[in-house]
Amino acid sequence: MRNFDYVLRRGIFSLVTIFLAVTGNFFLFRLLPGDAVSNLAKVPHAGPELQHALMVRFGLDRSTWDQYLLYLKNLLHGDLGVSFTYQEPVSHLLLTDLENTVLLAGAGTLGAIVLGVLSGVVAAWRRSSPLDHLNTGLATLVYSFPAQWLGLVLLIIFAGVLPAGGMSDLFVFDSPPFWPHLADVGSHMVLPTATLILTAYGGYTLVVRSSMLETLGEDYVLTARAKGLSSRRIVWRHAVRNAMLPIVTMVALDLGYVVGGAVLVEVIFSWPGLGMATYTALGQRDYPMVQGGFLILTVSVILLNFLADLVYFRLDRRVSA
């Protein structure tokens, strides 16, 4: 019963947070300076007839409160509205952008976990050695860098070697060949993915190192040493497996932050994901696109944090007790 109460409380808290985010999402962008109707008209001084027709077309002639109620009603039906700029459903436009964001964030997260775990295990295995100091020092240094700053540094250094922006150079082809297209997308992913990996792997390195050092001091590890097992086998067959529990929790907690970091990286590298689409729509005062992009990003972070709560609740008996 206590377990159910905890999950119910966290679920209600997440739903309330989503509602507040939806409400803030609607009103916040209408407080920004600028005129959506002028952007719609494509000219700074559109005639009153054209402006009025556009306002009626997109419901901007209604009161803000009526627009808000209509927005909530449409959301309940899964309707994010129609883009002012592209004249297409927002959900359709953002679907591809969401796939690109998941691709980038997923590759960055997976790379950070693999690099962080390997680096942390090696640092713990070679405790107090120059390799340990190098690993922990580099991890701490890179972990302290903001994603946008590190992204700009990588962009400046490698812009002449690797693609500096976008997702593909084969956009001139309707159906580019599979393998050349895959290689092209992969080359464009290198810099933004490296940015996400470098900004996240340091945290995994430090946590894995700490957990490994604690595990290596357990009685069963000392028993394995007394039996004559090699250090390599003790580390990789026994210690690593039992030191992974903090990593499972950390991955769940970090997923929301990875999504937020991916937004900044997308803008820096012009990656066609949710972050870039929302940033572009913000400059165009395309309210439905901005609201749709922020809504998806916000709800993703909230749901991922809720998932992290459930994972932490499941793994940490002090919470579930």
**Selection from 150, 145, 120, 146 nearest residue 135 by Cα:** 120
pLDDT at 194: 93
pLDDT at 287: 81
Which of 44-48, 143-147, 269-273 has the highest mean predicted lDDT (pLDDT)?
269-273
Q: Residue 244: how many CB atoms within 10 A of its CB?
A: 16
Q: Name which residue leads in pLDDT, 257 or 43.
A: 257
Interaxial angle between packed helices 2-28 and 287-315, expressed in degrees from 0 to 180 and rounded to the nearest 10? 160
Name the band, by pLDDT with cuts 50, 70 and 90, for residue 34.
Answer: low
Q: Quick one: tokens of 17?
A: 């947070």
List residues bridging with 82 in a β-sheet: 89
User: Residue 40: is its pLDDT beyond 80?
Assistant: no
Contact present, 193 and 266 (Cβ < 8 Å): no
Q: How far is CA 228 from CA 106, 236, 294, in A?
A: 41, 15, 57
What predicted TM-score, i.e. pTM, was given to this entire model? 0.79
Q: What does the pLDDT look like over 66-124, one tens digit per residue?
A: 888 888 888 888 888 888 888 889 989 888 888 898 899 889 989 999 999 899 888 88
Q: Name which residue leads in pLDDT, 47 or 43.
A: 47
pLDDT at 54: 65
User: Residue 321: is its pLDDT beyond 70?
Assistant: no
Q: Residue 300: how many CB atoms within 10 A of its CB?
A: 19
**Selection from 78, 75, 67 nearest residue 30 by Cα:** 67
Contact present, 303 and 29 (Cβ < 8 Å): no
Mean of all residue pLDDT scores within the chain: 81
Q: 8: exposed, middle or buried (C-beta count within 10 Å: 0-12, 13-18, 19+)?
A: exposed
